[in-house]
């Protein structure tokens, strides 16, 4: 048993550590956040009117594909053959489609598989286990995906929008605002392209010869729930059985948001047991209003209520993402407040993932010190909240997820 004296000492040390700590407030470094006339950071929920990419097979359900082929004057069963090439063999090359009549094969392939992603740059970590690809879309917009090998799983971090309208002061993606929503097929094609890279032996040492992307996280560019319809369409393509879709498990797909409450509630009603992650990063509105501007629309408690209701409806445990930023959001009292808010709503429904940022000397967006990280984690655990310090793989190639990436 801990003696009262020791407890008091530990408490006062902890209190001192906290009392001595500064409060750094968020501000954009090296760029100006767009503001409204009332001085609030500007939020863009709707995509500007922009030309959409050509329709692709992956935009359509199997029935829609069959209808499209009929429109092209072809039998509906060709839809299944084309789907098998794309969703099972990850190919759009007419040469490989020997089950289709040679005459007109090329025209057909280019009608249903217009090229959506053009590789601009590929960066790989030294061990080859992480690859970041920068893609150019049909209209010149740039997005990226990050492919990561872990023991027993391969995760792809995908983008869902070109740019982002959420204007978070730490995020490079948000700086230029939202260019446009990505189409479902542009999202799906990132996964198909990643599968091709894996098959080509580009991602480290294979564990077996049937490897493919097993997990998807929507933590690349964009706020996925601001592009709700297309993101859901893409999720259906991920989980629909082969050859309708990629045949992945919904639980291995993580949809993450900064807290678009009505969309979280809609997601809970979808009957798709995806994993849901809330990028919270602060438990108090005073800080979160500045750190995550969408908090001006939906407050911490509203976002946590919606997250809890997601758990209640789906039975899927929710993840809370929390980037630990030195002297900004890493105070022990914030860990205690977060634990209190989570526990008030129930036990066993949530898991917290603190994520240390990269050390960035001279920037306010820098990593918390080790003992502070530890204190934060211990405070949550002591309150009974399951907490795991997250792997921040990919940072050495600046491939950390957009939701978390500090401006550098
Ligand atoms: S952190 Fe996420 S939500 Fe915020 S601006 Fe960046 S991409 Fe958008």
pLDDT (tens digit per residue) in 137-157 = 999 999 999 999 999 999 999
Of 302, 344, 401, 408, which one is the catalytic site residue?
A: 401
pLDDT at residue 178 in the model: 94
Q: Give the torsion through C-alpha atoms of 62, 273, 390, 392, to 10 deg.
A: 10
pLDDT at residue 293 in the model: 95
Domains of the chain: 5-53+116-397 (3.20.20.70), 57-112 (1.10.150.530)
- State the distance from the centre of ligand 1 to the C-alpha of 173, rounded, in angstroms: 6
- State the distance from the centre of ligand 1 to the C-alpha of 283, rounded, in angstroms: 18
Name the phi and psi angles at 86, rounded to 5: -80, -50
**HEC letters along 223-247:** CHHHHHHHHHHHHHHHHCCCCCCCC
Handedness of CA 10, 375, 343, 294 (dihedral sign): positive
Low pLDDT (below 50) residues in the chain: 1-16, 400, 404-408
Contacts of 380 by beta carbon, 8 Å cutoff, 6+ apart: 335, 338, 339, 352, 387
Instruction: Decide whether any atom of ligand 1 lies within 6 Å of the 166 Cβ.
Output: yes
Q: pLDDT tens across 325-377, in order?
A: 999 999 999 999 999 999 999 999 999 999 988 888 899 999 999 999 999 99
pLDDT at residue 101 in the model: 93
Residues 175/31, Cβ–Cβ less than 8 Å:
yes
In this structure, are strands 130-136 and 118-124 parallel, antiparallel, or unpaired?
antiparallel
Q: Answer yes or no: 144 catalytic.
A: yes
pLDDT at residue 271 in the model: 86
In this structure, are strands 350-356 and 318-324 parallel, antiparallel, or unpaired?
parallel
pLDDT at residue 406 in the model: 41
Contacts of 251 by beta carbon, 8 Å cutoff, 6+ apart: 273, 274, 275, 316
Nearest partner of 215 among 158, 241, 253, 159, judged by Cα: 253
- State the distance from the centre of ligand 1 to the C-alpha of 257, rounded, in angstroms: 9
Interior/surface letters 101-135, b for 16+ CB within 10 angstroms, e for the rest: eeeeeeebbebbbeebbeeeeebbbeeebbbbbeb
pLDDT at residue 393 in the model: 65
Neighbours of 219 (CB within 10 A): 25
Q: What is the best residue among 173, 217, 278 to mutate for testing ligand 1's pocket, by most ligand atoms within 8 Å of CB?
A: 173
Q: Answer yes or no: 401 catalytic.
A: yes
The token pair at 275 is: 């994993």
Residues 71/112, Cβ–Cβ less than 8 Å:
no
Instruction: Decide whether any atom of ligand 1 lies within 6 Å of the 258 Cβ.
Output: yes
3-state helix, strand, coil in the chain (%, to 5): 40, 15, 45
Atom of ligand 1 nearest to the CA of 161: 7
pLDDT at residue 13 in the model: 46
The DSSP-derived string for 314-361 is: H-PPEEEEEEEBTTTT--HHHHHHHHHHHHHH-SSSEEEEEEEPPP-T
Of 144, 223, 290, 321, which one is the catalytic site residue?
A: 144
The DSSP-derived string for 267-292 is: HHTS----EEEEE---SSHHHHHHHS
Q: What is the best residue among 43, 174, 226 to mutate for testing ligand 1's pocket, by most ligand atoms within 8 Å of CB?
A: 174
The token pair at 341 is: 């808010």
Atom of ligand 1 nearest to the CA of 171: 6
């Amino acid at each position: 048993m801990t003696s009262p004296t020791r407890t008091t000492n530990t408490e006062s040390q902890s209190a001192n550590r906290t009392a001595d700590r500064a409060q750094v407030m968020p501000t954009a470094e090296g760029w100006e956040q767009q503001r409204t006339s009332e001085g609030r950071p500007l939020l863009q929920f709707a995509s500007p009117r922009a030309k959409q990419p050509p329709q692709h097979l992956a935009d359509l359900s199997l029935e829609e594909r069959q209808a499209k082929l009929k429109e092209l004057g072809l039998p509906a069963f060709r839809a299944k053959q084309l789907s098998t090439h794309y969703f099972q063999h990850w190919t759009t090359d007419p040469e490989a489609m020997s089950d289709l009549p040679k005459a007109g094969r090329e025209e057909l392939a280019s009608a249903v598989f217009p090229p959506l992603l053009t590789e601009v740059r590929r960066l790989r970590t030294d061990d080859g286990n992480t690859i970041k690809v920068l893609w150019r879309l049909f209209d010149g917009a740039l997005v990226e995906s990050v492919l990561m090998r872990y023991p027993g799983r391969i995760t792809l971090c995908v983008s869902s929008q070109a740019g982002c309208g959420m204007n978070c002061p730490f995020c490079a993606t948000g700086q230029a605002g939202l260019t446009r929503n990505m189409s479902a097929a542009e999202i799906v094609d990132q996964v198909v392209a990643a599968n091709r890279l894996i098959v080509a032996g580009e991602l480290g040492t294979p564990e077996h010869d049937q490897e493919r992307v097993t997990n998807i996280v929507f933590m690349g560019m964009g706020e996925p729930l601001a592009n709700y319809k297309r993101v859901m369409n893409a999720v259906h393509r991920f989980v629909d059985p082969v050859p309708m879709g990629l045949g992945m498990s919904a639980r291995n797909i993580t949809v993450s948001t900064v807290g678009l409450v009505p969309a979280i509630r809609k997601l809970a009603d979808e009957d798709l047991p995806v994993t849901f992650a809330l990028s919270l990063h602060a438990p108090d509105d005073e800080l979160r209003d500045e750190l995550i501007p969408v908090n001006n629309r939906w407050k911490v408690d509203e976002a946590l209520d919606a997250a809890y209701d997601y758990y209640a409806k789906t039975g899927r445990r929710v993840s809370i993402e929390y980037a630990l930023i030195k002297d900004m959001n890493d105070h022990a009292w914030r860990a205690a407040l977060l634990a209190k808010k989570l526990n008030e709503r129930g036990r066993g429904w949530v898991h917290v993932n603190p994520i240390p940022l990269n050390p960035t000397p001279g920037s306010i967006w820098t990593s918390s010190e080790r003992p502070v990280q530890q204190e934060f984690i211990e405070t949550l655990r002591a309150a009974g909240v399951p907490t795991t310090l997250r792997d921040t793989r990919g940072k050495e190639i600046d491939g950390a997820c957009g939701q978390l990436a500090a401006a550098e």
